[in-house]
Chains A and B, each alone.
Chain A
């Protein structure tokens, strides 16, 4: 049943973007990071779908929108194995993984309440200090505190 729904849903998109293989527990964070709540195009969101790799996964489809690569790569922090499918005229025109940049600006909140970023109207700035499978370690450029991506609070 789940599989049928998924195939049907993907096939139904004439053009736009399908973001697949998002861990279920981070689906809505991805929605938030990409600003999908504010979009006026047709959006379909599926969650807790079967996935051989992730157990369960989430999927987002946005009609008639192709995201800028830099923008879409921002979800790599919470969905390192996500796959981006660009659909044009019912065909998958492009398929690529997301890639986490070496610096992350303005998505993750610093866990240190005494950090300047939690007290000034400013963007956070993290450097990726290590990448191990699903978990990456981020270091705040301002206060030096580190945070694991799995525990990162999304702004």
Chain B
């Protein structure tokens, strides 16, 4: 097992999170920097994911490394019945780093146990997706100038959305106040509310996506409400449009408010919001490139310059 692997956001400390964000800042200023000269990186995508894969592969290319891999398990030997262990052990012979996405939960953790090559988890089922969390944190930091003492409002599917759970776990270091806006079927699970309680983090639950809730927010973190999550389709039809953000709803919001979304967006953010200066989801995805460059360098033990801006409170 390689200690520089990144499987879950819970594996890294507050200091390491801040260090990674500083490195991301550096890469935003210097996106093309040949730090990976001569390195080969595998991107093993047992489950397709266009955005995450392209972002990681761009990060490697901009750092001057080479990429091998596959984008679909159907084109890999796992379709012939090869175990994950065998695939990881075989690929480990060729590369310096493995970036993997898998449809099974815990796959990345298991991969770290069968190889000494560092593993970056690019998503394992509904479980963890730490690079998404780091890019979310990077967007929050960039748009607010700090990670501390912010009002973060999470909207939509708070029950199954792994991005909101990971973001909540990572924000526990930075004294946030959370507002959870969701229908009963998709409420924030109790284990995460208990985590807030144990860390002394204030949170408020709302059914209504009201002007008051939006007016208090520094960050609006929108998520997709998926039809397949509902046991009662009538309930889905009733709530599907209740958690849609329209541009008119941003009137009267704080000037520093920014709207984030892990993407893909379907109809939970109206197209007219895109024109608002408060829409930040496309820039957020762009920041994913820099966050991933930082994660890759950390995994390979490559020291990167950091900008001197203070992220501390």
Q: CB within 8 Å of B: which residues of A?
A: 112, 114-117, 119-122, 140-145
A residues in contact with B83, CB < 8 Å: 120-121
Per the bound structure, the CA–CA distance linking A50 and B126 in Å amounts to 47
Top-10 shortest CB links A-B: A142-B106, A143-B105, A116-B106, A143-B106, A116-B104, A116-B107, A116-B110, A142-B109, A114-B105, A114-B125
Per the bound structure, the CA–CA distance linking A142 and B102 in Å amounts to 13
Closest A residue to B126 using CB positions? A114
A residues in contact with B126, CB < 8 Å: 114
Asked if A120 meets B84 with Cβ closer than 8 Å, knowing A143-B125, A144-B127, the reply is: yes
Closest A residue to B83 using CB positions? A120
- Interface centre among B84, B103, B104, B126, by most chain A C-beta atoms within 10 angstroms, is B104
Per the bound structure, the CA–CA distance linking A111 and B106 in Å amounts to 13
Count of B interface residues, CB-CB < 8 Å = 15
- Interface centre among B84, B103, B105, by most chain A C-beta atoms within 10 angstroms, is B105
Q: Chain B's nearest CB lies how many Å from the CB of A116?
A: 4
Q: Does B254 contact A (CB under 8 A)?
A: no
- Pair count A-B, CB < 8 A: 44
B residues in contact with A142, CB < 8 Å: 105-107, 109-110
What would be 12 A-B contacts, judged by CB atoms less than 8 Å apart?
A114-B103, A114-B125, A116-B104, A116-B124, A117-B110, A120-B83, A122-B85, A142-B107, A142-B110, A143-B106, A143-B125, A145-B105
Per the bound structure, the CA–CA distance linking A117 and B83 in Å amounts to 12
Closest B residue to A112 using CB positions? B105
Closest B residue to A121 using CB positions? B83
Per the bound structure, the CA–CA distance linking A144 and B104 in Å amounts to 12
User: Cβ of A115 and Cβ of B104 under 8 Å apart?
Assistant: yes
Q: Chain B's nearest CB lies how many Å from the CB of A38?
A: 26
Per the bound structure, the CA–CA distance linking A121 and B124 in Å amounts to 18
**Chain B 84-105, CB within 8 Å of chain A: the 1/0 string?**
1100000000000000001111
Contact with B104, one of A119, A121, A141 (Cβ below 8 angstroms):
A119
Asked if A141 meets B109 with Cβ closer than 8 Å, knowing A115-B104, A119-B104, the reply is: yes
Per the bound structure, the CA–CA distance linking A112 and B107 in Å amounts to 13
Per the bound structure, the CA–CA distance linking A146 and B107 in Å amounts to 17
User: Cβ of A120 and Cβ of B105 under 8 Å apart?
Assistant: no
Closest A residue to B125 using CB positions? A114
Closest A residue to B105 using CB positions? A143
- Interface centre among B106, B124, B127, by most chain A C-beta atoms within 10 angstroms, is B106
User: Cβ of A144 and Cβ of B105 under 8 Å apart?
Assistant: yes
